[in-house]
Amino acid sequence: MRVAFFVHFPFHRPILEPIRDVLTGGAELLLSSARDAIVAFDPDVLVMASHAHLEYFRRRLPRALTVNVRHGLIGKRLISRLPPRASARAFDFVCVGAEARVESYERAGAAPLEYWPTGYVQLDPLFRRDPPPSLPLDPARPTVLYAPTWNLGLSSAGLLGSRLVELIRGEAGDVNIIIKPHPVIGEWRPRWMACWERLAAADAGVLLVRDTHADVTPYMLAADALISDASSVVFEFLALDRPIVLVTNPRHAADPAYAPDDIIWRWRDVGEELRDVDRLPGAVAAALRAPEARAERRRHCAHLLFGPFTDGRNHVRVAERILALGAATAAAVVAAHGRRMRAGGGAAELWHEMRTRLWSSTLVRRLVLGPLEQLRLRAREVMVRPRPAR
């Protein structure tokens, strides 16, 4: 059996590599970020951590079974904004944690042939409590991780701006601060990165993770508390059962990625939610002083998300599921179901492919898509603004 792993973003690599390593010796393997290399390999099974390029592979690998191991735990309406064709939305197998999360997939219209109850691979180091990395920070001080998302209307980055360090340390004292941007911030938000560069250069106790595509997991392991906004990191951090502070952007309801039914908005009580950034100093100090506050709620939500898959062996369960398919089984499944997910072809798929290529261009993102995003957010703010009472 041939199994391929598609690394769309560099941060997908630490999710996919542990699965590959378990399969070593039991299958012919390829892990690559090159689409043409994946196609030339002609795998029986293709493992991916996102929907990006799914339709491309459906067309060119019609006999391959596709497996989604997920790279994030929230949706941000991503699936609903994909083309309505099943070939762009639906995997054959989707790895999940607790069965309660299956409902969110069904609501988004991404019904696979089968859900695999395996847990989420990226959480394994957190559940194992792997040793944190050696960082150029004072180990005697508490460490706060700031991990914002990238969406203009959801992120806290613009709200905190150059006051980030003073707000975090306002009442907590001289704590270490790790700034770990969302992976795409490095390409989409150069001004935010420049601001954080200045803060890190001015203070040895502030560490900016300049490689935004680096795995966030080691920095979570090093943190005593998390500050975020609408990022999947919020729910990954639940695996550590440590305090969380959430900064809510007042423009969130206008952002195209805002999904009121998603857990990032329904479960904000896993941490201390702030709508006024001037309250951040007190919230950080309280989180470090009393980390057990909200612990019961954190653990309840963690159980709903992760179910029993908290032993650090989720990657092994995924690998075992893949091995159980076998080349013969994979061929039988494809034959039985046909290529029901195969794209219809034509102009629609070509347009989707062109858009995907445009999004991969840093120049296009900064000069075209960035300004368009600003305009779209402003227009949607007018649409969602409450009408004055008569």
Write the pLDDT tens digit of every residue in 20-30.
999 999 899 99
What is the C-alpha to C-alpha distance for residues 316 and 217, in angstroms, rounded to an integer? Answer: 18
Q: Would residue 364 count as lying in a domain?
A: yes
Q: Would residue 389 count as lying in a domain?
A: no
Per-residue model confidence (pLDDT) at position 383:
77
User: Taken in order 40, 44, 45, 50, is the CA torsion positive or negative?
Assistant: positive
Residues 6+ positions from 222 with CB-CB distance below 8 Å: 132, 133, 135, 137, 143, 145, 178
Q: Would residue 152 count as lying in a domain?
A: yes
List pLDDT tens digits, range 253-282.
999 899 898 899 999 999 999 999 999 999
CATH number at residue 54: 3.40.50
Q: Would residue 156 count as lying in a domain?
A: yes
Per-residue model confidence (pLDDT) at position 348:
63
Question: Residue 339 above 60 pLDDT?
Answer: no
Lowest mean pLDDT among 96-105, 201-210, 312-321, 327-336: 327-336
Asked whether residue 167 falls in the same domain as residue 276, the answer is yes
Asked whether residue 301 falls in the same domain as residue 219, the answer is yes
- Residue finishing a domain among 306, 327, 357: 306
Asked whether residue 302 falls in the same domain as residue 315, the answer is no
- Residue finishing a domain among 277, 306, 335: 306
Between 76 and 46, name the one with better pLDDT: 46
Lowest mean pLDDT among 52-56, 235-239, 357-361: 357-361
The model carries a pTM of 0.89
Asked whether residue 314 falls in the same domain as residue 354, the answer is no
Token look-up 């969110």 returns 104
Asked whether residue 190 falls in the same domain as residue 327, the answer is no
Give the total number of structural domains in the chain.
Answer: 3
Asked whether residue 259 falls in the same domain as residue 323, the answer is no
Quote the domain boundaries for residue 98: 2-119+310-343
Asked whether residue 273 falls in the same domain as residue 134, the answer is yes
Asked whether residue 141 falls in the same domain as residue 290, the answer is yes
Asked whether residue 202 falls in the same domain as residue 239, the answer is yes
What is the C-alpha to C-alpha distance for residues 126 and 237, in angstroms, rounded to an integer? Answer: 8
**At 328, phi and psi to the nearest 5?**
-65, -45
List pLDDT tens digits, range 158-179.
999 999 999 999 999 999 999 9
Question: Residue 340 above 50 pLDDT?
Answer: no
- The overall average pLDDT reported for the chain is 89
Q: Would residue 318 count as lying in a domain?
A: yes
Asked whether residue 238 falls in the same domain as residue 168, the answer is yes
The DSSP line for 123-169 is GHHHHHTPPPPP-SS-TTS-EEEE-----TTT-SHHHHGGGHHHHHH
Q: Would residue 175 count as lying in a domain?
A: yes
Q: Would residue 390 count as lying in a domain?
A: no
Residues 6+ positions from 161 with CB-CB distance below 8 Å: 195
Whether 64 contacts 2, CB under 8 Å: no
List pLDDT tens digits, range 185-238.
998 899 999 999 999 999 999 999 999 999 999 999 999 999 999 999 999 999
CATH number at residue 249: 3.40.50.12580
Asked whether residue 169 falls in the same domain as residue 205, the answer is yes
Asked whether residue 328 falls in the same domain as residue 214, the answer is no
62, 153, 158, 362, 369 from 195: Cα distances, Å: 47, 19, 10, 19, 21
204: helix, strand or coil: coil
Q: How many CB atoms lie within 10 A of CB 16?
A: 24
Q: Would residue 339 count as lying in a domain?
A: yes
